[in-house]
Amino acid sequence: MILTVRPETLQERQIYRTIRPPAESGMIHRRSVWEPWGGQLRQWVMGWEIASVAEKDAVKALWDQTYNGVLSMEYTPPNEAATVVRFVEDTFEWRLVTATSVAMTFTIEEVR
């Protein structure tokens, strides 16, 4: 699977890998994961103020094929080689702007 859509806005940020095991009380305990390569991953927040419904449907189909970020896919950041990414859970949002266009955002992150 390959993410081929090009966003209007693209924000890259660095995050630290964490483990979030749920406790029986419903709380989530977070802790950093030590990695020899530093533990930082890149995330990209992609956004569109006006996208076609067909573009939204293509992203939604990929979202469904990857089971909301469980499976990975390929993405090629601007001026870089392809990298393996996945959708960040619960980040795909869209709203209808006109009958034929939508505004949407979602976040993807590197997989290592």
Model pLDDT for residues 5-35, shown as the tens digit of each residue? 889 999 999 876 666 666 666 665 555 655 5
pLDDT at 27 (0 to 100): 62
Q: How many CA atoms lie within 13 A of 79 on its CB side?
A: 0
Q: How far is CA 35 from CA 14, 56, 84, in A?
A: 15, 36, 18
Which of these, 75, 93, 94, lies nearest to 6 by C-alpha position? 75
pLDDT of residue 20: 62
**CB–CB of 87/69 below 8 Å?**
yes
Length of the chain: 112
**In this predicted model, what pLDDT tens digit does every residue of 55-89 receive, in sequence order?**
999 999 999 999 988 899 999 998 999 999 999 98
Tens of pLDDT, residue by residue over 27-42, are 655 556 555 555 678 9
Task: Give residue 87's pLDDT.
Answer: 95
Q: What's the confidence (pLDDT) of residue 2?
A: 87
